[in-house]
Amino acid sequence: MSDTLRPALTRLRTPALVAAGTAGVCAAVVWADPTTPGGVIPPCPTYTIFGIYCPGCGLSRMLYSLVHLDIQAALHYNALGVVAVAIAVVAFAAWTVGRARGTTGPQWGRSRWAPRIALVTIALWFVVRNIPVAPFTALRI
């Protein structure tokens, strides 16, 4: 192996491990098939106990649908989750390219506003998907 290729491969070790872990999680969700009632993945405790949809309700079914490339079903199960996955894929790609080049790109996660924006977005999603009138009832699973 050439001396110029070795550092790039070393820098890509961590992104490769993250990708492998992500593939493992996706494989586990496909194996568990959360769309089948009474499966391995338990129902949401928030919905079971309180009868309200938490921001994470439907995430495993959303991921199952995304793995099967059923975007419409994924959006039905958890639209915010689909947006989060899209952002994570773009961020992962930018991070991987930056690691391969030996540079760092923009890191919005280090912004002092990033946690606030994420928290407000999740809180709004929690409220909006529990509003009991149309069109908000379409956000329920």
Residue 106 has pLDDT above 80, yes or no: no
Residue 1 has pLDDT above 80, yes or no: no
DSSP reduced 3-state for 90: helix
- Give residues with Cβ within 8 angstroms of 56, minimum separation 6: 44, 78, 81
Q: What is the pLDDT of residue 5?
A: 65
Task: Report the alpha-carbon distance of residue 138 to residue 84 in Å, rounded.
Answer: 19
State residue 92 phi and psi, 5-degree precision.
-65, -45
Q: What is the pLDDT of residue 62?
A: 95
pTM: 0.85
Mean pLDDT over 60-75 rounds to 95
Mean pLDDT over 87-116 rounds to 84
Q: What is the pLDDT of residue 57?
A: 92
* pLDDT > 70: percent of the chain: 91
Question: From residue 16, how far is each of 44, 99, 107, 109 by CA, in Å?
Answer: 31, 11, 20, 21
